[in-house]
Structure 1
């Protein structure tokens, strides 16, 4: 595997320093994902910008985190599964539903189940969503807008999951209690 630098604020390219400093102040630590993304400051900017946009979708915070957790688990991204396990807990997703997502299953909650199922379908179908899947999502009480908002979730996780796979991002100590192993391996 090619060695990508796990940047600090000091070692990062100048164009990434402000973003890293801001993140560290906001979160209390610097996620290793961002430390790796700093190698390409425009990637870091793209991820953080898209994350801000995604947070403004009509999906609830719990639905947003369920989508991100489901996508990350399907993509086998241990870093993002750990991070979004924390995000799902903060968004008050039921513990049992989080456990199911980490086991590549869908939540019991009907709305969260529909989000997880459709988000995973989008990834597995590479965007060629079956009409039956779209209709099932809509019949679960969602709108066409939310079908397309889940494309943002897939895009966001493509940026982070692929970066973690390529760069071999290690889990931060702050996330160790949420560590995840892909049950398929």
Structure 2
């Protein structure tokens, strides 16, 4: 495990301190991921800017969570699956959809299922999705702009998922209700 400091408003570098202080004031704590990101203000800022852009990408709030959680499940990120499930619950999003994504099972809504499948293929195939996969996604009611929004969501999750892998970011108590263990780790623990 690479040792990363979980920064506080007092320990965060100058370029991160204001953001970390603001999050602490707003939420009452600093989520562990942000505490790790604070080590490099450029990464912290880039992640937040990409997150803001995903919110403007044309995907609904539920669709954004389908993309981010699907990518996090495929990338086996315990932290992001728990955090995004908690965010989804707080936003009043359909937890049946969220739990289908977490459990890597089909979503009842065909359009959202097409989004989940396309996102999963984008992650697994590292963007080399087939023309048939793109056409299936478009046929479900999405657009070429939505194809790029999925890539944006996947890119956002690469930053956080990979950081969480390297830092072994602990899941905050606020997200613990929706803790998630990647399938491979579950299988290894059972062996």
The count of corresponding residues between Structure 1 and Structure 2 is 185
Q: Which residue of 2 aligns with 1:67?
A: 67
Compare 106-115 and 120-129 and name the one that shifted more: 106-115
CA distance, structure 1, for counterparts of residue 119 and residue 130 of structure 2: 12
Q: CA deviation at 1:103?
A: 1.2
CA distance, structure 2, for counterparts of residue 30 and residue 37 of structure 1: 11
Q: Which residue of 1 aligns with 2:137?
A: 137
Q: Secondary structure of 2:183's match? A: coil
The 5 A counterparts of 1:81-92 are: 81-92=81-92
Compare 13-22 and 104-113 and name the one that shifted more: 104-113
CA distance, structure 2, for counterparts of residue 41 and residue 167 of structure 1: 16
The 5 A counterparts of 1:10-21 are: 10-21=10-21
Unaligned runs of 5+ in 1: none
CA distance, structure 1, for counterparts of residue 78 and residue 30 of structure 2: 17
CA distance, structure 1, for counterparts of residue 85 and residue 163 of structure 2: 19
Q: CA deviation at 1:93?
A: 3.6
1:106 aligns with 2:106: yes
Unaligned runs of 5+ in 2: 186-191
Q: Which residue of 1 aligns with 2:120?
A: 120
CA distance, structure 1, for counterparts of residue 95 and residue 167 of structure 2: 30
TM-score (norm 1): 0.95
CA distance, structure 1, for counterparts of residue 65 and residue 2 of structure 2: 30
TM-score (norm 2): 0.92
